[in-house]
């Protein structure tokens, strides 16, 4: 599982970084990916990373400020031209559907795939679940309704103990595959073998939290609880808390404090004010690292790999 940063700036693009967009590349053997926010020119940013627009499965919009969604109409339209024919599902605040419907109506845009839009209420809720993932959303504190998202991957059986399987008379092949995918098998003599019988521990599911624009709040702590990675805005440097809160944002130290309270493993700072150049990012990281040790500053086209943990 990888997190690609397509835009890490706040408010408007500048020569250092584009506006907000983040891609979650799903783990192999999946080839799909999910997008969190879609600032202006996100489809241009995608040309610099190994993600195909036709493989985009879901889009999660945190809020309706322009720097988080002005890139949506163009990206959705281009997906048709890129061979995207599978359904695409979008989640976001109330008003998202009206925005897309209005732009598409005025521009006579037609898609070659089904677009499903879910407008979310301003309350904590589970919004998606399947055999691999569960996604939860919750309201943050910003100048307009704004959401944070928590992606939980399900645990998987650990490595198969091949010697033990062979000792039980199980030959490699489809039965191995069923056990590896978490399904029990039945032998010819009626013996039932479960994955727990023949696997070495479990591969713990990963947790990724992507927060929209926010001032410090309890929901940010809740969504980030025990996350392997929290993506947290850090619009301003330490010492500018009053200015940050005036506009519904956080400082570097406040982002680090959220990660600390949540018991997260790593925090990626993003959504930097245009006042900071890329050369300033080291100082911003140092501020946060004084509170929380494992912190990075996201940069455009940067990637974070999130590994599974093998637990016995």
SS3 15: coil
**Buried b or exposed e, range 45-66, using 16+ CB within 10 angstroms:** bbeebebebbbbbbbbbbbbbe
- Concerning whether 286 is annotated as a catalytic residue, the answer is no
Give dist(CA 236, CA 244) in Å, integer. 6
SS3 49: coil
For the stretch 275-304, pLDDT in tens is 999 999 999 999 999 999 999 999 999 999
Determine the average pLDDT of the residues in 32-46.
Answer: 98
Measured CA angle at 140 (ends 136, 144), to 5 deg: 120
**Average pLDDT, stretch 97-112?**
97
What are the residues whose beta carbons fall under 8 Å from the beta carbon of 107, sequence distance 6 or more? 73
0.75 surpassed by pTM: yes
Q: 284 to each of 64, 228, 301, how far by Cα in Å? A: 27, 21, 19
**Where along the chain do its domains lie?**
2-157+201-311, 162-198
State the average pLDDT over residues 101-112: 97
Q: Give the annotated binding-site residues for Zn(2+).
A: 63, 65, 67-68, 142, 213, 271
Instruction: Please tell me what DSSP assigns to residue 279.
Output: G
Length of the chain: 312
Provide the H-helix boundaries in the chain: 42-46, 66-69, 72-81, 96-107, 162-167, 174-180, 195-198, 218-223, 241-246, 252-262, 281-289
Task: Write down the pLDDT at residue 254.
Answer: 98
Read off the DSSP letter of residue 249. Answer: -
Cβ atoms < 10 Å from Cβ of 136: 18
Residue 167 has pLDDT above 80, yes or no: yes
Give the CA dihedral 72, 148, 286, 264, nearest 10 degrees.
-130
Q: Are 35 and 56 in contact (CB under 8 A)?
A: yes
What's the pLDDT band for 312 if we cut at 50, 70, 90?
A: low
> CATH classification of 2-157+201-311 is 3.40.50.720, yes or no?
no
pLDDT at 173: 81
Which residues participate in the annotated binding site?
Answer: 63, 65, 67-68, 142, 213, 271
d(CA 149, CA 61): 9
199 vs 258, more confident: 258
Angle between helices 72-81 and 96-107 (to 10 degrees): 60
pLDDT tier at 128, thresholds 50, 70, 90:
very high
Q: What is the rounded CA–CA span in Å between residue 80 and residue 110?
A: 9
- Comparing CA positions, the residue from 230, 216, 241 lying closest to residue 270 is 230
State yes or no: cis peptide before 29, omega within 30 of 0.
yes
Catalytic residue among 30, 37, 67, 280: 67
């Amino acid at each position: 599982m990888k997190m690609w940063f397509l835009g890490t700036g706040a408010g408007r693009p500048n020569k250092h970084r584009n506006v907000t967009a983040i891609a979650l590349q799903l783990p192999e053997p999946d080839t799909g990916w999910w997008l969190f926010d879609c600032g202006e020119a996100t489809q241009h940013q995608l040309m610099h990373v190994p993600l195909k627009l036709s493989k985009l499965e879901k889009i999660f919009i945190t809020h309706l400020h322009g720097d988080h969604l002005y890139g949506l109409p163009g990206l959705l339209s281009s997906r048709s031209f890129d061979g995207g024919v599978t359904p695409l599902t979008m989640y976001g605040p109330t008003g998202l559907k009206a925005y897309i419907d209005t732009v598409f109506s005025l521009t006579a845009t037609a898609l070659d795939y089904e677009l499903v839009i879910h407008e979310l209420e301003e309350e904590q809720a589970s919004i998606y679940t399947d055999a691999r993932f569960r996604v939860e959303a919750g309201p943050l504190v910003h100048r307009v309704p704004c959401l944070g998202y928590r992606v939980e991957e399900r645990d998987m059986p650990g490595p198969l103990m091949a010697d033990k399987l062979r000792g039980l008379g199980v030959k490699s092949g489809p039965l191995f595959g069923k056990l590896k995918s978490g399904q029990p098998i039945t032998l010819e003599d009626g013996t039932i073998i479960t994955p727990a019988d023949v696997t070495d521990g479990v591969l713990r599911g990963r947790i990724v939290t992507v927060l929209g624009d926010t001032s410090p709040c309890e929901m940010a702590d809740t969504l980030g609880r025990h996350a392997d990675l929290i993506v947290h805005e850090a619009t301003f440097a330490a010492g500018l808390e009053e200015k940050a809160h005036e506009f519904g944002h956080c400082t570097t130290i406040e982002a680090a404090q959220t990660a600390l309270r949540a018991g997260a493993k790593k925090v990626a700072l993003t959504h930097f004010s245009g006042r900071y150049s890329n050369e300033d990012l080291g100082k911003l990281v140092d501020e946060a690292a004084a509170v929380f040790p494992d912190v990075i500053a996201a940069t455009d086209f940067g990637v974070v790999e999130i590994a599974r943990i093998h637990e016995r």
